[in-house]
A and B are shown apart, each in its own frame.
Chain A
């Protein structure tokens, strides 16, 4: 490759990187003592608010996992264009919340005329067991699925993980999978949040992989077809299932089904 062509390629790559960086929304990460606003707008309707160290209040209600009053929470999200009118805080969406073990003040506040967020059923929900399932149609090629986890957790979250697990199982069944590889990842590289260093242990990568493997076994994937690996310091992803959040995307399990 000539020097000129090399230079052109590098320039193009740099331009592409800049474009991605410009289009990528800024991730807002902080640790906070969450606040529950009791808007009383029906079941599961309350607002979850989180104040950053500057005292700015954010609405983190739209995360798949909600905070717990009295426990610190790690908030990772990007600014949304949605107005603050529902709960009284700048909306983070997508956003992920991780409940930490450390205690903090229990903060529950009244509605103060905020309407809250009336619960909406997720667009896709696990069907009851007695309903027949449709197998995905061919062609069957090697296919990967990602399941994301909260910080320091190997817990498979309801109304999220079970849908992906079912898709994996149906695809493995339909494709008569010879191999189902389960790769666990943990964010072992340090993440500094306002002076506090967060780092997941490598054992968590293994625990996540084992959790997913156990789930697959319970759903009928033959044990002999499942292989496990685990790694630290994973690369970031920006896929939709990860909530398009780069740092939380490191905490994942990737299942690769090989027909």
Chain B
């Protein structure tokens, strides 16, 4: 075993050396095992520019604040030239890769946005007016016009209102939306706002990681307990869909997501040839990203653990965790009693902390309350359970059932203070079922799933996402309202009155740092 590990490191070092011989391309960015100083990383080392000619290796690693994020492309290395994921296809110069960066776990961190602004300036396609600014009508060269992307990593998502179904037909909503305040000005804008010729609700969201998608598209069970129906059938393919792809479930297949993203994020009008769409989907489906090394824990596939993207690529998707027989984050259970070596005590202590964090994740129970999608579907409100109640899919922590839940990240009174975001007042129409816990009038920064369904019960529901590689893509929650993993844990601790001890918080944080 030790010999095999040594061999692995020889290979890694050899690859590092090879990449180090290249010029300033993202391939340079593979860190040496101890090179964990992200502040020193140059933007040219981290940021994959749309349309540039790169070689995408089988494994691609970047430093994060606490370790190394590695992205694995299972078919192996390839040249990106002409690949539609890496090629600007629309009018704004962006490609998919612009907002789904390997250094950020195939999402985009606020830090990367800031570095691109500082080094490449406002004309970089990342800051495209349509969604990379607070509103397209603002002066685009000014930093303030892009403040939400720069400070919170948020992109503008303009949803039609009234909503439209997946066939494009209008849905009669159960609720009315009023604007309470909007520092971005976009929802009141004459051209882009709620009263514009094409009325839209502008909300601001973090990009979801384009990786580990076999888990997001998997269907563990045929029934969705939250909607009270079997999984929805995609009309185009005729097959059920997971409902776990997008924050508001506005698209249910990778094909639909790709088309939507091409239109709304790359300004591509018209139909992309099917072969090109399939190349995008094939690439997305074969990308796995996870933390591979931690500054304190060392290699995450060491000491009996099975972290990192390779194990993730091999793991089956859509499996429900069981606290007793196969708990989530069992990848790190072997560290519960990490072997002691005289020169590695800090490492041992950290690994044990990770294992404790995993045990807390499944075993530390609290009262889950007032969370539409969980506490209104028959379990009762409140219901005693743990983090793994919702984050229940083995290996990734998504929800095996479609994960639209109102945790309070966007709805008042639970949302973190977000004065820079729009605030809406939603009023349920007579006869409509009210939001189960917030009543008939709800204040929210993002109506979430209700922007797709038009239903009061769905206000503020946001689809749970994969927790793998999360350390590489701050800030957190759909609206970037938690800057750090510690703030994520603090939110839950307060929201559900978990009364976590400082040690428990730290253990959970350490767990999240190695996913």
Contacts and interface: CB of A to CB of B under 8 A. Distances in A.
Contacts of A66: 378-381, 383
A27 interface: no
Contacts of A159: 225, 378
A38 B228 contact: no
Interface in A37-68: 38, 40, 42-46, 48, 64-68
Contacts of B319: 128
A174 interface: no
A36 B379 CA distance: 12
A82 interface: no
A64 B320 CA distance: 22
Contacts of B232: 218
A211 B367 contact: no
A175 to B, nearest CB: 20
Contact of A219 (B230, B377, B382): B230
Interface in B379-422: 379-386, 389
B365 A68 contact: no
A42 B318 contact: no
Contacts of A166: 222
Given A43-B365, A126-B223, A129-B318, A215 B380 contact: no
Interface in B187-229: 219-223, 225, 228-229
Nearest to B317: A130
Most chain A beta-carbon contacts within 10 A, residue among B220, B223, B379, B382: B223
Contacts of A43: 323, 365, 384-386, 389
A8 interface: no
Given A128-B220, A158-B225, A215 B389 contact: no
B433 A158 contact: no
Most chain B beta-carbon contacts within 10 A, residue among A45, A101, A162: A162
A214 B224 CA distance: 13
Contacts of A130: 318
A86 interface: no
B380 A162 contact: no
A25 to B, nearest CB: 24
Interface string A119-157: 000000010111000000000000000000000000111
B376 interface: yes
B323 to A, nearest CB: 8
Interface size class of A (residues with CB under 8 A): 35 or more
A217 B386 CA distance: 34
A218 B230 CA distance: 6
B228 A126 contact: no
Interface in B173-199: none
Secondary structure call for the A interface: loop
Contacts of A108: 367, 382
B383 A46 contact: yes
B391 to A, nearest CB: 14
Interface string A143-187: 000000000000111110110011000000000000000000000
B375 interface: yes
Secondary structure call for the B interface: loop
B436 interface: yes
Contacts of B222: 126, 129, 162, 166, 219
A69 B382 contact: yes
Most chain A beta-carbon contacts within 10 A, residue among B233, B320, B380: B380
Interface size class of B (residues with CB under 8 A): 35 or more
A240 B253 CA distance: 40
A165 B367 CA distance: 31
B231 interface: yes
B434 interface: yes
B303 interface: no
Nearest to A218: B230
B33 interface: no
A106 to B, nearest CB: 9
Contacts of B376: 68, 99
B228 A211 contact: yes
A130 to B, nearest CB: 7
Contacts of A48: 380
A194 B379 CA distance: 27
A42 B384 contact: yes
B240 interface: yes
A65 B378 contact: yes
Contact of A162 (B230, B383, B385, B439): B230
A146 to B, nearest CB: 17
Contacts of B385: 43-44
A218 B240 contact: yes
Contacts of A40: 365, 384
B165 to A, nearest CB: 14
A104 B444 CA distance: 24
B462 to A, nearest CB: 20
B35 to A, nearest CB: 42
Contact of B223 (A70, A99, A158): A158
A23 B24 CA distance: 85
Contact of A38 (B225, B229, B367, B433): B367
Contacts of B381: 66-71
Given A156-B228, A218-B229, A218-B240, A162 B223 contact: yes
B383 to A, nearest CB: 6
A46 B225 contact: no
A214 B319 CA distance: 26
Interface in A3-53: 36, 38, 40, 42-46, 48
A157 B229 CA distance: 9
A165 B320 CA distance: 21
Given A71-B381, A130-B318, A157-B378, 17 more contacts: A36-B382, A38-B367, A38-B382, A42-B384, A44-B385, A71-B436, A99-B376, A126-B222, A128-B319, A129-B318, A159-B225, A159-B378, A162-B223, A165-B230, A211-B228, A218-B231, A219-B222
29 contacts: A36-B382, A38-B367, A40-B365, A44-B379, A46-B382, A65-B378, A66-B379, A66-B380, A68-B381, A68-B436, A69-B369, A71-B436, A99-B376, A103-B439, A126-B221, A126-B222, A128-B318, A128-B320, A129-B220, A155-B228, A158-B223, A158-B228, A166-B222, A215-B229, A215-B230, A217-B233, A218-B229, A218-B232, A218-B240
Interface of B: 219-223, 225, 228-233, 240, 318-320, 323, 365, 367, 369, 375-386, 389, 433-434, 436-437, 439
Q: 3 shortest A-B CB distances, which residue pairs?
A: A66-B380, A158-B225, A68-B381
